[in-house]
Amino acid sequence: MGRNLKMIRFRKTLMVLLTILLVIPTFSLKPEEASAAATFIRPSEGTVTSGFGPRWGSMHYGVDIAKSGTVPVVASAPGTVIFAGQAGTYGNVVYVHHQINGVSYVTVYAHLRSISVRVNDVVSQGQRLGYMGETGNAQGQHVHFELHKGTSTWNRAYAVDPMDYFDKNIVPVEEGSFRLLTGTFSTVASQQEAAERLRQATGWTVYTVNENGLRLKTGTFTTRASAEAGQRLITQQFGWVSYIKQEYFRLLTGTFNSTAEQNAAYERLRNDTGWTVYKVNENGLRLKTGTFKTRTAVEQAQQLVTNDYGWITYIQVEEQ
């Protein structure tokens, strides 16, 4: 099932959720949202008639659940309604934003006969959002349900299979970009020998660096838990001291010709995306974003800026 071009008008609302992948200290949640449940439930009774994945030559980004009669469609988890209305091929549709164990999700409920909620309503798990229907591009009464992890965008790049999440505990995972930095070695020869030993024992990418002394630095781990496991391995197997270093990523634009042009670009980017944006003078008038926690997130943001604005951007890496 696809969307037509009318869905693009909702991009601004949905793109705001990409800020969850930005580290923004002032971002807060409503109390009802912060106490979100640990699982997602099915949005309605019925039979799954079409699953997540390739279908009829295109990608089906959700699951279809069908049942005849008057069937309530409910919130899969506690959250806040961010869209409720008519949206092209989706017909009557509701989008709900959830915050569960520090991770942002968006659920989508399409083809509803009627809608029972409004934008900014805070809903509880199991609360009725509307009734199953056949509005939009639907063949028979059903609800098309999507689950997006991180955010929801017009091209559904963050969609995941809802069946992997229904009625399962969601374990908090701190995702990001982490490296291990060892203590110092006394000579270049001992540093190089240690690097080879570590590579052979683990298969990791290992660099020899001079950062306040001769040290080793690993390639990136995608979660803090995996970095901590690597740190324990180094301690147990080699007896070396090591430190976890987390990387953060920013986008820095190319230069603007005038302060007025920089100011206009600043307002556009901030209003369209909801990101933290700074006006800077670093070898010219530029914009710099807040920090992204993963390289994937910053690369997706870079692609968005290129596609929507045509601006050149550079990825900057910071380490803490």
- In a domain, residue 139? The reply is yes
User: In terms of domains, do 134 and 47 share one?
Assistant: yes
User: In terms of domains, do 253 and 312 share one?
Assistant: yes
Say which CATH number the domain at 264 has.
Answer: 3.30.70.1070
Which residues are CB-contacts of 28 (< 8 A; sequence separation ≥ 6)?
none
Residue type, 157: A
Per-residue pLDDT of the chain (320 residues; tens, 9 = 90+): 444 433 434 443 344 333 333 332 222 222 223 333 457 999 999 999 999 888 777 788 899 999 999 999 999 999 999 999 999 899 999 999 988 876 788 999 999 999 999 999 999 999 999 999 999 999 899 999 999 887 655 656 678 889 988 888 776 656 788 999 999 999 999 999 999 999 998 889 999 999 999 999 999 888 887 888 889 989 988 999 999 999 899 999 999 999 999 999 999 999 888 899 999 999 999 999 999 888 888 999 999 999 999 999 999 998 87
Q: Are strands 103-115 and 92-100 parallel, antiparallel or unpaired?
A: antiparallel
**How many structural domains is the chain composed of?**
3
Which residues are CB-contacts of 210 (< 8 A; sequence separation ≥ 6)?
none
Other Cβ atoms closer than 10 A to 120: 10
Cut 0.75: pTM above it? no
User: In terms of domains, do 149 and 55 share one?
Assistant: yes
Nearest-Å Rg of the Cα atoms of the chain is 23
User: In terms of domains, do 218 and 306 share one?
Assistant: no
Nearest to 27 by CA among 88, 81, 102: 102
Q: Domain limits at 291?
A: 248-319
Residue type, 202: T
- In a domain, residue 169? The reply is no
* Contact status, residue 277 vs residue 288, Cβ threshold 8 Å: yes
* Contact status, residue 182 vs residue 197, Cβ threshold 8 Å: no
- In a domain, residue 170? The reply is no
The three-class DSSP label of residue 182 is: strand
- In a domain, residue 44? The reply is yes
Q: Are strands 242-253 and 159-160 parallel, antiparallel or unpaired?
A: unpaired
Q: Which of 164, 190, 209 is the last residue of a domain?
A: 164
User: In terms of domains, do 137 and 260 share one?
Assistant: no
CA atoms of 141 and 111, how far apart (whole Å): 8
CA atoms of 294 and 247, how far apart (whole Å): 8
Which is it for the CA torsion 150, 152, 153, 159, positive or negative? Answer: positive
CA atoms of 288 and 279, how far apart (whole Å): 6
- Beta pairing partners, 312: none
User: In terms of domains, do 132 and 184 share one?
Assistant: no
